[in-house]
Amino acid sequence: MKTRIVSIVLALLLTLGGVGSTAAQQAPADPGRDVSNNAEMWRGARRGIEGYVSIPNKQAGVLVQSEGENWRNWRNGPISTYGIWLLLGIIILLAVFFAIRGRIRVEAGPSPRRIKRFGVIERFSHWLTAVTFILLGLTGLNMLYGRYVLRPLIGADAFSTLTAWGKYLHNYISFAFVLGVLLLVILWLRQNLPTRADLIWLARGGGLFSKGSHPPAHKFNAGQKLVFWGVVFFGLAISVSGFLLMFPFTVADLHQMQLTQLGHDIVALFFIAMIIAHIYIGTIGMEGAFEAMNSGLVDENWAREHHSLWVAEIKGETPPSDRDPHGSAPAGGATRPAWSAPSPVSSSPLSSSPAPRRR
Ligand code: HEM
């Protein structure tokens, strides 16, 4: 008898349960409440509908953030691909330029005299910016391309360790880079304001494409001013975007951070391309240029050919004609070219010193 009663109660319960589930299936679709309607729920989730969570991280209320997929596709797609073309493109362009034009020589040959071009603080600021930039560039490129280039070469474990340390380096060294850029701005802003000579320099392609062409220039020519302003604006954009990424969700939300990250990559790639060209001209591209940032002293003939107005300014000479960078005469003095009779005593407020002949 007892067994019979239990069977009847069970049968009743099962029937009621069946009715209940049928009723749930027939209820109107409500993605927020009805979890049995999966298609509708996932459509909502895919649209980024925000639900309610009781944990402190309110962002967990968004189950699927679809912009994340767009972000990944952009980063690993066009940005990486065009970025590689940009960097290879600039290297190929410089190689072709070098093959055609060769090294830009000091056409008058070496002078026995040197002129002081950059002081210790200028060189320190330059190299602080340069070294930190190169480290930031290498660790950043590793984040973008390392898994395709380095990982197959050194293996997954070594790559992961290297990238993790690279990321720390990238984060911490960024502060020194910002300091370097700020110092350069303070030291060189005034000398990088545009002048009329820049238009002439640009119109003549800086004299880069033909031998014997030396458009006059002040301390920095128009090409260098473009590099300076590139460093300022790219530097600003890359630092602001970098700090937004380093301190997530302080100012930007998730989607804004994704856009910031894409912007950071694009600016970095253009910045690196510009600096590759800068390094080329400062080393193998032009004879005599590297000394300016190494010892701070430059060959006087180099200075007259590339920065004739600057030499005239610091030596108190009349500005040279743009045809003959060596033809300037001391103000109120003889008309002979200043370089033709070297004097060990400098007329420059920045000091010029005799130097041993280089050949
Ligand atoms: C190995 C790397 C580098 C080398 C060999 C190098 C070389 C040079 C040289 C020789 C000059 C002086 C040119 C002159 O006397 O007229 C110079 C200037 C300058 N450098 Fe660099 N540099 C390097 C990296 C960088 C980096 C990474 C930055 C910035 C991110 C930078 C920013 C500048 C700026 C703004 C100037 C002044 C404008 C100009 O001359 O273009 N340099 N550099």
- For the Cβ of 290 lying below 6 angstroms from any atom of ligand 1, the answer is yes
d(CA 281, CA 90): 13
What is the structure's pLDDT at 42?
A: 84
Return the ligand 1 atom nearest residue 227 CA: 41
Higher pLDDT, 136 or 50: 136
**The model's pTM:** 0.82
Alpha carbon nearest to ligand 1 atom 26, residue:
130
Contacts of 290 (CB under 8 A, 6+ apart): 282, 283
Q: Which residue, among 359, 351, 347, 320, has the nearest Cα to 336 in the 3D structure?
A: 320
Q: Average pLDDT in the 155-167 region? A: 98
Name all domains of the chain by residue range, CATH numbers in brackets.
72-297 (1.20.950.20)
Out of 278, 280, 290, 350, give the residue to mutate to test ligand 1, the one with the largest number of ligand atoms within 8 Å of its CB. Answer: 278
Q: How far is the CA of 228 from the centre of ligand 1 (A)?
A: 9
Q: Average pLDDT in the 182-199 region? A: 98
What is the structure's pLDDT at 60?
A: 86
What is the structure's pLDDT at 324?
A: 62
Return the ligand 1 atom nearest residue 223 CA: 41
Q: How far is the CA of 288 from the centre of ligand 1 (A)?
A: 13
pLDDT 10s digits, 52-101: 899 988 888 888 888 899 999 999 999 999 999 999 999 999 999 999 99
d(CA 347, CA 174): 42
Residue 322 clears pLDDT 70, i.e. is over it: no
pLDDT 10s digits, 2-17: 555 545 444 444 333 4
Q: Average pLDDT in the 283-299 region? A: 98
Q: How far is the CA of 227 from the centre of ligand 1 (A)?
A: 8
Q: How far is the CA of 278 from the centre of ligand 1 (A)?
A: 6
The count of residues in the chain is: 359
What is the structure's pLDDT at 9?
A: 46
- For the Cβ of 273 lying below 6 angstroms from any atom of ligand 1, the answer is no
Residue 336 clears pLDDT 80, i.e. is over it: no
- Given a contact cutoff of 8 angstroms between Cβ atoms, the answer to whether 184 and 129 are in contact is yes
d(CA 133, CA 269): 12
Q: How far is the CA of 214 from the centre of ligand 1 (A)?
A: 20
Higher pLDDT, 2 or 142: 142
**What is the average pLDDT value for the chain, to the nearest integer?**
85
Alpha carbon nearest to ligand 1 atom 35, residue:
228
What is the structure's pLDDT at 351?
A: 40
Residue 22 clears pLDDT 60, i.e. is over it: no
Q: Average pLDDT in the 40-48 region? A: 83
SS3 content of the chain, % helix, strand, coil (to 5): 65, 5, 30
Residue 278 clears pLDDT 50, i.e. is over it: yes
Alpha carbon nearest to ligand 1 atom 36, residue:
228
Higher pLDDT, 323 or 259: 259
- For the Cβ of 346 lying below 6 angstroms from any atom of ligand 1, the answer is no
Work out the end-to-end distance of the chain between its first and last CA atoms, rounded to an integer number of angstroms: 121
What is the structure's pLDDT at 30?
A: 54
Residue 18 clears pLDDT 80, i.e. is over it: no
pLDDT above 90 coverage of the chain, percent: 68
What is the structure's pLDDT at 96?
A: 98
Alpha carbon nearest to ligand 1 atom 39, residue:
224
Q: Average pLDDT in the 194-204 region? A: 96
